[in-house]
Amino acid sequence: MNAQGHTRRAVAIGVGHYLPERVVENAEFEKTIDTSDEWIRSRSGIERRHFAAEGQTTSDLGIKAAEAALADAGLTGADIDALIVATSTADLTFPSVATMIQHGLGMTHGFAFDVQAVCAGFIYALSSANAYIQCGQAKRVLVIGAETFSRIMDWNDRTTSVLFGDGAGALILEAQDGAGESGDRGILSVDLNSDGQFRDLLYVDGGVSKTQSTGVLRMEGREVFRHAVEKLAKTAETALERAGLGADDVDWIVPHQANLRIISRTAQKMGVGMDRVIVTVQDHGNTSAASIPLALSVGVASGKIKRGDVLVAEAIGGGLAWGAAVLRW
């Protein structure tokens, strides 16, 4: 709270997304690996996903999503003073995807950096943006989730290659004064967690320091699933409690889109009906850190999410790292 009795809030003023042109239906995988459309649909809820074109990078997707969010807010890069990108699939080892997007938007001011918390990355990035806004270090923050997981797939591994997709989503947060109450617009609370004892359940088997190569994704899907529902429901409930709200106050859960069964069981555990959950996993697959801003953007564009709605975003992924954020749209 400041001297005037106001609480500084990070309020959403624009959202947008970009999906690469190429759409790959489940049936395409039947040609190369021992799988079926029926298995993929029934086990994950996924029907199709988008894959980036050859040469199209994570920053390319991020720039397009950022431009859409800026257009939605009626702003240009000149109006933004911080840019945070959640990604695990950077164009290069360095510099950050964030600085590449910053350049792509024609910005030569402000500061930009990447956050790496795999599928939970967007929640971590939101939390960082909220902190910069609340402490007065930034006024308008562009938060982007952008991924090209198609670049780190083992195409012979049927247990992972059918699950992931590429895409990007972007959200612009602006410092605005609130009353310090749960009725305020903006981010109301965040809960972050990680536990490295589970680092071997979901990882990429290459990297700069260990192999000097990129590597491919490895996952103990059943084990990750087992942790997911319990940890997601708990983090969402913690975040709601911190915001002074309960499950009945939730207008929309905007979950990480990894698996429809995880999404629905988590909602059920929280006591929220599926009619109050934004679901895009059927069309996007798992886009890691991009999945929440993609779902947010689709939810707003479809007219489901309206100004004043209470949203709970929750995600879990490699680390394990997980968390939730509550915001009033």
**Contacts with ligand UT7, residue ranges (CB under 6 A):** 35, 39, 43-44, 119, 158-159, 162, 221-222, 224-225, 228, 258-259, 262, 286, 316-317
Q: Name the token pair of 63.
A: 């720039």
Question: Cβ closer to ligand UT7: 34 or 248?
Answer: 34
Q: Do 96 and 114 meet the contact criterion of CB atoms below 8 Å apart?
A: yes
Amino acid at 123: I
Q: Which residue of the set 26, 50, 119, 284 is catalytic?
A: 119
φ, ψ of residue 140 to 5 degrees: the values are: -130, 120
Write down the least CB distance from residue 225 to ligand UT7, Å.
4
256 a catalytic residue: yes
Question: Cβ closer to ligand UT7: 19 or 219?
Answer: 219
Neighbour count for residue 43 (Cβ, 10 Å): 16
Q: Do 122 and 315 meet the contact criterion of CB atoms below 8 Å apart?
A: yes
Write down the least CB distance from residue 206 to ligand UT7, Å.
18
Q: Do 279 and 260 meet the contact criterion of CB atoms below 8 Å apart?
A: yes
Question: Cβ closer to ligand UT7: 145 or 178?
Answer: 145
Write down the least CB distance from residue 153 to ligand UT7, Å.
12
Instruction: State the residue number with the nearest CB to ligand UT7.
Output: 221
Q: What's the rounded Cα separation, in Å, for the pair 115 and 7? A: 26
119 a catalytic residue: yes
Question: Cβ closer to ligand UT7: 32 or 302?
Answer: 32
Q: Checking phi first, is residue 175 left (phi over 0); if not, alpha (psi -120 to 50) or beta?
A: beta
Q: Which residue of the set 17, 26, 50, 256 is catalytic?
A: 256
Write down the least CB distance from residue 235 to ligand UT7, Å.
14
Q: What's the rounded Cα separation, in Å, for the pair 105 and 87? A: 18
E strand or H helix at 44: helix 37-44
Question: Cβ closer to ligand UT7: 111 or 203?
Answer: 203
Write down the least CB distance from residue 139 to ligand UT7, Å.
32
Q: Which residues fall within 8 angstroms of residue 201, CB to CB, at 6 or more apart?
A: 219, 220, 223, 224, 227, 318, 320
Show which residues are catalytic. Answer: 119, 256, 286
